[in-house]
Structure 1
Amino acid sequence: MHRARWRPIRAERPTLWACLLAANLLAACLPAMPAVAQTEGEGLSPTLANIKATHTVRLGYRESSPPFSFLDHSNRPIGYSLELCDAIVDEIGVEVDDPNLKVEYVKVTSDDRIPAVVDKKIDLECGSTTANAERGKLVAFSPLMFVAGTKLMVPKASGVTQVADLKGKTVVVTKGTTNEQAMHNVDAKQSLGLNIVTAGDHEQSYQMLADGKADAFATDDILLYGLIARHKSQDKFRVTGDYLSYDPYGIMYRKGEPQMKDVVERAFRKLATNRDIIPLYNKWFVARLPTGEKLNVALSPQLEEAFKVLDENQ
């Protein structure tokens, strides 16, 4: 499958929307990795050496995490995260002196995405993954690419406006997500007696709500808006409640490879320096998606600041 190239588009700067915390908290929540200089003549790191030997980069994608990683009408993986990974692949090509690297797309789920990175089934995970300290013990993350938080999707006719209104009711979460833990935490803290059930991916979670098997679906707010737009169900469902978690997103790759870390961060800095990263954001969050939906989710001031910091560090 060939990689699609993106071209920056012009977009009016939309009204900024609020997030929970400043984006630079991402750096504080992950374990620090000491910088290791790449000495002249030193061999490539394991991931890069394998890529050079096989001429292939394996990208993990999600089937139903719009606009980050999802399938178009031809079942081709597309999305914001995949385009960021495309830029990293270009930078890997420079590092291993192979400008014609092939890309192999590998489907992953919220439950198996981290093992897929650790077990070397994929080289980059291009989805909607929260970077936190716990996961940082197992994998490495790119610079911040988005900030989200857990909210609730409920039927429009429902009287639910906050999590306390779900006392004793059924909430579906996608297995292996930070949202699952967030719901268990709030359930214990507020003694809500929730029946928390899991589904294999976001599409299945959405379907459980649509089929009346759950009273609410809890996941990151941007994913809920993306699913509502994709299903054209604005008249059926709404997103509600306070943020129940803080979720900074990053691209995952294998931990303990300083050379790979340098390549990933260099790709992000180039996007920021060339002023390509904000048009790329607008392409997937503000403009109409290739599949026809339009989220119209403006760039947050925190994420905009994070992109500026990347530029300043060039």
Structure 2
Amino acid sequence: MFTMTLRKAGFAAATALVLSLTATACGGDSGAGDDKINIGIKFDQPGLGLKTQDGEYTGFDVDVATYVAKELGYDEKDIVWKQAPSAERENMIANGDVKFIVATYTINDERKQRVDFAGPYFLAHQDLLVRADDDTVRTEDDLNSSEMKLCSVTGSTSAQNVNKKFAPKANLINYGGYSECLTGLENKAVDALTTDDSILAGYAAQEEHQGKFKLAGLNLSDEPYGIGLKKGDTELRKQINDALKKMVDEGAWEEAAKKHFGPADYEYEPAPEITETN
């Protein structure tokens, strides 16, 4: 009887240990422990979300995400940055790989079927980046031709706009990242890179690209950037919205915008009104 009791006690202890280890391994919704927070950003968008060669993270979206995280109780050292490609953002949120995503993430009805948004915190407009000596694109009508090779990124609203709205006849080439499009533009494999003007300005302002490219100056769409989060998490959305309002009121939003967009001579819009509240 005594031996059986010991066996039962040992089994119970082992079971408790396994359950404890499993819980630790699973972590929380953010994909990190309570003392860490996983945040999705872009790694290849200078001026917005860029992972530098020395492993640092910089850009307007990075500053916004860092400010929001601080308001949620996390220091900068507690942030684990996760690369969030355009086509994977909804999956990363739904799977709990990140707590939220700040990655030039345009708010639209299709995406809101899978995730919720806080914000918007920035308003961009779709445009084109062309080679500096190229004057063939002057109006929106110039794009809608089978001879026009436009490059964009898989899963982006820019690519969807090309197909559905202003250039259905164009030869749309989708790559996994904007850097690949930029290489194609420089090598004349494509005629133009189309995405948000904020992203294009960042690329054009890079030291190695200065003088090579220019924005076409076409205001093709409105792109309100939101912070993506798990659908139904109204508490987190309110916390993020409160943080964004505080960032604007304190002047930190304007400071970050000038820091990252000023060198590109990009005339950005003022901080937009927060509308994603329910």
TM-score range for the pair, normalised by the shorter chain length = 0.7 to 0.9
Aligned residue in 1 for 2:273: 306
1:86 lines up with 2:86 in the alignment: no
Identify if the C-alpha distance between structure 1 residues 70 and 53 changes in structure 2 by more than 3 Å, giving closer, same or farther: closer
The Cα shift of 1:101 comes to 7.5
User: 1:11 is matched with which residue?
Assistant: none
Indicate which of 251, 262, 266 corresponds to 1:275: 251
**Corresponding position of 1:182:** 161
Please list the CA deviations of residues 139-176 of structure 1 after superposition, one character each: whole Å capped at 9, or x if unmatched.
12221221112111122222222243242221111111
Matched, 1:133 2:109: yes
Q: 1:299 to 1:211 in 2, by over 3 A?
A: closer
**Aligned residue among 185, 206, 227 for 1:209:** 185
Flag structure 2 segments of 5+ consecutive residues without an equivalent.
Answer: 1-26
Task: Note closer, same or farther for the CA distance 1:102–1:233 as it changes in structure 2 (3 Å cut).
Answer: closer
Q: CA deviation at 1:203?
A: 0.6
In structure 2, C-alpha distance between the alignment counterparts of 1:156 and 1:266, rounded to whole Å: 42
What are the residue-to-residue correspondences of 1:38-117 with 2, within 5 Å?
54-93=34-73, 102-117=78-93
Query: Displacement, 1:49?
Result: 7.4
3-state secondary structure, aligned to 1:121: coil
- How many angstroms apart in 2 are the aligned matches of 1:136 and 1:195? 29
Q: For residues 274 and 237 of structure 1, what CA distance do their matches in structure 2 show?
A: 35
- C-alpha distance in structure 1 between counterparts of 2:33 and 2:171, whole Å: 49
In structure 2, the residue matched to 1:243 is 219
Distance across 2 between alignment mates of 1:237 and 1:76: 26
What one-letter code is carried by the residue in structure 1 that aligns with 2:128?
L
**Deviation at 1:88?**
1.7
Counterpart of 2:139? 162
Give the structure with the larger helix fraction.
Answer: 2
Cα gap change, 1:156 to 1:209, in 2 (>3 Å): same
Amino acid at match of 2:63: E
Structure 1 pair 228/272, CA: closer, same or farther in 2 (3 Å)?
closer
| Contact 1:70/1:78 (8 A) holds in 2 | yes
Aligned counterparts of 2:75 and 2:209: Cα–Cα separation in 1: 43
Change (3 A) 1:297 1:176: same
Aligned position for 1:296:
265
Same amino acid, percent of matched pairs: 20
Q: Which moved more, 1:114-123 or 1:233-242?
A: 233-242
User: 224-233 vs 111-120, which deviates more?
Assistant: 224-233
- In 2, distance between residues paired with 1:53 and 1:165? 52
Residues 40-84 of structure 1, C-alpha deviation per residue, up to 9 Å, x if partnerless? xxxxxxx98768953210011212222111123413222111121
Ranked by relative contact order (alpha carbons within 8 Å, sequence separation 6 or more), the top structure is 1
How far the C-alpha of 1:179 sits from its partner, in A, is 0.3
SS in 1 for 2:96: coil
Query: CA 1:51/1:195 → structure 2, altered by over 3 Å: closer, same or farther?
Result: closer
Of 224, 229, 236, which residue of structure 2 is paired with 1:260? 236
* C-alpha distance in 2 between matches for 1:112 and 1:76: 22
* TM-score for the superposition, normalised by structure 1: 0.71
**1:142 paired to 2:118:** yes
Find the counterpart in structure 2 of residue 6 from structure 1. Answer: none
Larger mean CA deviation between 138-147 and 235-244 belongs to: 235-244
Aligned residues: 247
**TM-score, normalised to structure 2's length?**
0.79
Structure 1 portions without partners, runs of 5+: 1-46, 287-293, 310-314
1:228 to 2:208 alignment = no
Query: RMSD of the TM alignment (CA)?
Result: 2.7
Instruction: Provide the C-alpha distance between the structure 2 equivalents of 1:184 and 1:225, rounded to a whole number of angstroms.
Output: 23
Secondary structure, counterpart of 2:202 in structure 1:
helix
